[in-house]
Amino acid sequence: MKKLSLLIAALLLATPALANEPQVVNATATQSADGWRFDVAILHADTGWEHYADGWGVYTLDGQELGYRVLVHPHVNEQPFTRSLGGVEIPTGITQVIIRPHDLVHGDGPDYTLDLP
């Protein structure tokens, strides 16, 4: 029981450090005649206009930007939140993309790799 309590305490102490960067918690891609649509769910501890997740991008595995969604306001009371980006052109032969979130204070969050259907 004591080991379990220590493990829980360690996890709780580590959680705020993760909250500083935006995290993609889910993403889907749908192909249409107009290109690809990406629906991306982001979790971030937005605190207001000075510190919030301000965008996310779609990239090839070698770093080429394919599209970028600007987020124009904080989502303090809406976590996680989902936003979409349509009309993204994916080069032939690409089967995976990276979704990379961004915030005003810390910059880029960790990459999220998405397999295209």
Helices (H), strands (E): how many in the chain?
Answer: 1, 8
Residue 8 has pLDDT above 90, yes or no: no
Give mean pLDDT, residues 68-85.
92
Q: Which amino acid is at 65?
A: E
For residues 90 and 97, the answer to whether their CB atoms sit within 8 Å is: yes
Residue 6 has pLDDT above 60, yes or no: no
DSSP type of residue 115: E
- Enumerate domains of the chain plus CATH numbers: 19-115 (2.60.40.3580)
The pLDDT of residue 1: 53
- Residue 46 pLDDT level (bands cut at 50, 70, 90): confident
- Residue 12 pLDDT level (bands cut at 50, 70, 90): very low
Residue 7 has pLDDT above 80, yes or no: no
